[in-house]
Amino acid sequence: PASSSRARGHDRGGPTASTTRGAHHQPVKPEKRVVKFRTSFSNTVYDVLVARGWQETESDSDWDIHWAEREWVYEVFDTRHLEARQRLNHFRNGRELCRKDLLVKNLKRMRRTLQRDGQLEQARAYDFMPLSFVLPREYAMFVEEFKRSGGVWIMKPIGAAQGRGIFLFSRLSDISEWRVSSSASRDNNTASSQNNSNAATHYNQGGGLYAAGAGPDGDGDAAPEAYVVQRYIERPYLIGGKKFDVRLYVLVTSFSPLVAYLYRGGFARFSHTRYSSEARDIANHFVHLTNVSIQKTAENYDARSGGKKDLRSLKLLMAARHGMKAIDELFLAIERVIIRSLLAVQHVMIADKHCFELYGYDVLVDDDLKPWLIEVNASPSLSATTKDDYALKCDMLNDALDILDLEGRLTGDELAVGGFDLLYSGGLVNRSQRHRSSAPDDDDEDDGEDDGDCSGTPCGGWSTRLGTAILGSGASAARAAPVEE
């Protein structure tokens, strides 16, 4: 009936074709399309998707967004045809940025390319990853460097996560004589053992790195397992005498052209035990590693805070020590680390228009306020350990989904969406268009420095919003479900 049609039209806020004679006729707006999602996750990802009113589906093909495991992308994606509207949360060859050995390779290649092209200043700017070698391929080069400079180094399996298989050493004998009898030690690697028996593989006397049961002394003939060995940052910035790193969230919606957003929020992950550079503490993971999966096994672990401090509190605390100008320059340097790492892989990434990626960047700050890129995670943990953690991740995910704009609400020229700021869009975003930080400097005056393009020296003008308050974000999604205690 016409009356029902009118009622529905006015519910949508506009007239219908059945309005009275003489009125301005406007077409009936189509019914809002329900966004269909598919996911195997049951954490904040699922909570936010449901809280948006989207409809879950088990269909292999009839979905608008699939928040998938990386394995699905590597094993299934190439066998499927996607419609133009469909979005997937991983790029096909995302390992180029997120696998430790490939990240090292791509950063080194970018630096060599810049040197060859005569861009020496830009090449020198690619000094934000500790000196690294991929073993066993670069074992001879590593030994030469070790014999020349010595020091403490850290070994990391290229494909492991959550701190598994990581250990520190200061003698070549620590890696030349190591054996393990069971590969299960990799899975059971926890900080409680506090010694190098946690490592899953190691070098033999002949210079090859073999998994347990493989290689010349084992039953198998598997290829050597790759590790990344890096010079250890022995003078990290400390708060309360403890080491920490910073987890930041970066959303990349395209690699061709490169379009990247940086979330203003984040958190610092702290070690449980006060930092020590003494040789007797070299194997104590509670001192040297910040992974929550390791720190939560410590005695007297504080489950209420989860060993974390929110990024804004961290920034204000550091600013109280060094002044806001120094800390804003630090945070701008972190932004440049993120941009340069993305540029290093831009031309090797498969630029599929269906794909996006939410990266978890881990950055360490040293005692000279220099940021170091530790790693980039393609599947950062989106499970919550505390209520604040739940709120942060839900709000961040809700804003990320707003950027993807499956409902068609954005104009396409937004510089900020919720807590995300546009960092790069085919080029550096003009910082004069970005809002100033809500935190003033020491004398509360505008220094009037030109923002420039941030490609060389630190930018002024307090143009970074990283670590500032987030207003108008997806708080409703954060209340979708309580965190499990």
Is the separation of the CB atoms in 399 and 420 below 8 Å?
yes
8 A C-beta contact, residue 265 and residue 310: yes
Q: Give 398-432 as a 3 state SS string.
A: HHHHHHHCCCCCCCCCCCEECCEEEEEECCECCHH
Q: In one letter, which amino acid is 479? A: R
Q: For residue 188, which of 198, 176, 177, 175 has the smallest C-alpha distance? A: 198
10 Å CB burial of residue 145 (0-12, 13-18, 19+) is middle
Residue by residue, pLDDT tens for the chain (485 residues) are 333 333 333 333 333 333 333 444 455 455 567 899 999 999 999 999 999 999 999 998 999 999 999 888 888 887 788 899 999 999 999 999 999 999 999 999 999 999 999 999 999 999 999 999 999 899 999 999 999 999 999 999 887 665 677 888 999 888 864 433 223 344 444 434 444 433 333 433 333 444 444 443 444 445 557 899 999 999 999 999 999 999 999 999 999 999 999 999 999 999 888 888 888 888 777 778 777 767 666 677 676 667 889 999 999 999 999 999 999 999 999 999 999 999 999 999 998 999 999 999 999 999 999 999 999 999 899 998 889 999 999 999 999 999 999 999 999 899 999 999 999 999 998 765 554 333 333 333 333 333 334 433 334 343 578 878 776 544 434 334 433 43
| Rounded-to-integer distance, Cα 333 and Cα 326, Å | 11
Per-residue DSSP letter, 99:
S
Pair of tokens at residue 174:
């620590």
First-last CA distance in the chain: 53
Non-local CB neighbours of 142 within 8 Å, separated by 6+ positions: 133, 135, 229
Q: From the CB of residue 169, how many other CB atoms can be counted at a distance below 10 Å?
A: 21
Contact 461, 431 (CB under 8 A): yes
Give 367-388 pLDDT, tens digit per residue. 999 999 999 999 899 998 889 9
Q: Under a CB-based contact definition with an 8 Å cutoff, are residues 396 and 249 in contact?
A: yes
* Crossing angle of helices 100-116 and 324-345, rounded to 10°: 90
Helix (H) or strand (E) holding 107, with range, is helix 100-116
- Helix ranges (H only) for 262-310 are 285-288, 292-295
Residue whose pair of structure tokens reads 């060094």 in the numeric block: 322
Report the alpha-carbon distance of residue 66 to residue 35 in Å, rounded.
11
Given this model, what pLDDT does residue 31 score? Answer: 56
Q: Which of 349, 355, 269 is nearest to 72 (CA)?
A: 355
Residue with tokens 């410590």: 298
For residues 103 and 94, give the distance between their C-alpha atoms in angstroms, rounded to a whole number: 10
Residues 359 and 435: their CA atoms lie apart, in Å, by 24
Backbone angles phi, psi at 134, to 5 degrees: -100, 120
* CA–CA gap between residue 316 and residue 445 (Å, rounded): 18
Strand pairing class (308-310; 238-239)? unpaired
pLDDT of residue 140: 92
pLDDT at residue number 32: 66
Q: Which two tokens stand for residue 429?
A: 């975003």
Q: Does residue 136 have a cis bond before it (omega within 30 degrees)?
A: yes
Coil/strand/helix, residue 231: strand
Residue 347: what pLDDT?
94
pLDDT, one tens digit per residue, over 44-89 is 999 999 999 999 999 989 999 999 998 888 888 877 888 999 999 9
CA distances from 308 to 51, 92, 481 (A): 26, 32, 21
Helix intervals (H) in 120-159:
120-124, 139-149
